[in-house]
Structure 1
């Protein structure tokens, strides 16, 4: 699953070292006012750099809204993320092509990627982790 962000892009780069035939998938939605509905600009850069076999999945907003209930009903636990519906729909589509998927999901938790983490005493954090 490729967003074009640091986490998923790094996974593509590392996977490419071990396998020439990498399949990548990105999902996007229609723009809503000033809000951009996809990150294809960034994922396209990674696709071009690493020559992956890429599938863009564009979901109309009406279809996304129709899938909200299904997305929440299929979660094993409540998930705080604005991209929960995107992950559900992407997983549904990707499962038609592959059985195993790598994503950058969870890296922000491990590597303190959220804006509130810098408030933590990093010296103590680093000593405990590393």
Structure 2
């Protein structure tokens, strides 16, 4: 592949932003990718930062999979208890909402386990 800007000059790589072939004079090495010199450095740096942050978030996700289900379970127990003990029994709206929260907690927990596993590998 030839350099996009200099025909006949071999490209050493491609710009991570625009994918054009670049020779050593036209490329800026940003450690995790090449960029067109004086054109795409900021875009490639932003892309690298996004990828790095996403990797950190994905690595932390298995540890955080229990937070939402515990919250929904707590709210379900709170609503159900209030609905039942306030005299409304099992047909009161708060009790039924609490059951909905509890079911949702189980669904979220199972979905998180399917996506991220047990979180024991971290």
Using the size of structure 2 for normalisation, the TM-score is 0.22
> Based on CA coordinates, which of the two structures has the bigger radius of gyration?
2
More helix by share: 2
Using the size of structure 1 for normalisation, the TM-score is 0.21
